[in-house]
Amino acid sequence: MKPKKRKLLDLLMLFLLLSGIGILAYPFVSDALNNYLDQQIISHYQQQAVKENEAIMAKIQKDMTKKNQQLAKKGGNPGVDPFTKKKEPVKTDKTYFEKHTIGVLTIPEINVHLPIFDETNTVLLEKGASLLEGTSYPTGGESTHAVISSHRGLPQAKLFTDLPKLTLGDSFYIEINGQTLAYQVDQIKTVEPTDTKDLRIEKGKDFVTLLTCTPYMINSHRLLVRGHRVPYHAKKVQKEVQKVSENKRFFLYGLIAISILIFLFLIYLFRQTFKIRNRR
């Protein structure tokens, strides 16, 4: 084979190899980047919560509690299924997500650490966990039922992909208005998208339901994972939340390190191939 054709063939093979690696790596890289942005949004929310004085935090809590009480009188009115909404053009940047963030959801069992947004639309659903319209704010208290939804099966982010792995007795935590609330899973159901009776408020109960699509990649039904409020043990919860946050960070660093090693190996392989070819 002529040197020129051989060189072109080498370049083509390198291109195909890089393309294959890129396709295989896309879900991991995009998920890592999405996680990084989520952690930045969460960090901003937590820093703002520290900066706000107690009076401001108390007012926000009071306003949310008042709205929850008004909603409780109606028994709750869960909005339209969040996963059937049409995608609307929304101008987004980091500040868009930050201004809609009202809390943080942590599920240690499946390594989830997501910002909670104050409304549900297609853009927010792809970035974190969203509060379903017509349900309580996740501030806790009697006669409240917050419904928090997110996607599963997205190629660019895991989000609620592992939600079906939760079992009865598992815990999840919500950080909001300077406090952390603990919930224990007591009910897991699969329902039709239009079936909202399990999302309604029950008098005297303090519930949070995590909502996503199921089965995986088919999305014909909805998975409901409900938790009831349990006592908050600060040391235990802080340790679990910190572990999840660290896992997210280590995954990103590990992915960067592996990417650099693969890149260096490809350069080495390419140079060695050319050296061998040039000797012939």
Q: Do residues 117 and 104 touch, judged by C-beta distance below 8 A?
A: no
Q: 199: which DSSP letter?
A: G
Contacts of 212 (CB under 8 A, 6+ apart): 149, 150, 151, 152, 159, 160, 163, 222, 223
How far, in Å, CA of 184 to CA of 73, rounded? Answer: 25
Domains and CATH numbers, the chain: 24-254 (2.40.260.10)
Q: Say what the pTM is.
A: 0.77
The 10s digit of each residue's pLDDT in 2-28 is 566 666 666 676 667 666 766 666 666
Active-site annotation holds for 151: yes
Mark whether 213 is an active-site residue.
Answer: yes
CA distance 103 to 248: 18
The token pair that represents 249 in the structure block: 């960070």
Rounded to whole angstroms, the Cα distance separating 134 from 132 reads 6
Q: Which pLDDT tens digits describe the chain residue by residue (280 residues)?
A: 556 666 666 667 666 766 676 666 666 666 667 767 777 888 888 788 777 777 888 899 999 999 999 999 887 778 878 887 766 666 677 789 999 999 999 999 999 999 999 999 889 998 999 999 999 999 999 999 999 999 998 877 889 999 999 999 999 999 999 899 999 999 999 999 999 999 999 999 999 999 999 998 889 999 999 999 999 888 777 777 777 767 666 666 666 677 677 767 767 666 666 665 555 5
Q: Which residue has the tokens 């294959």?
A: 20
Beta strands in 26-157 (DSSP E): 101-107, 112-117, 129-131, 144-149
Contact 105, 183 (CB under 8 A): no
The residue annotated as part of the active site, out of 44, 145, 151, 233, is 151
CA distance 128 to 100: 11
Q: Which one-letter DSSP state was computed for residue 85?
A: S
Is the Cβ–Cβ distance between 111 and 244 less than 8 Å? yes
Does residue 102 contact residue 117 with C-beta atoms inside 8 Å? Answer: yes
DSSP 121-135: -HHHHTTSEEEPTTS
Catalytic hit among 145, 213, 221, 233: 213
Give tens-digit pLDDT for 53-108: 778 888 999 999 999 999 998 877 788 788 877 666 666 777 899 999 999 999 99
Q: How many CA atoms lie within 13 A of 204 on its CB side?
A: 0
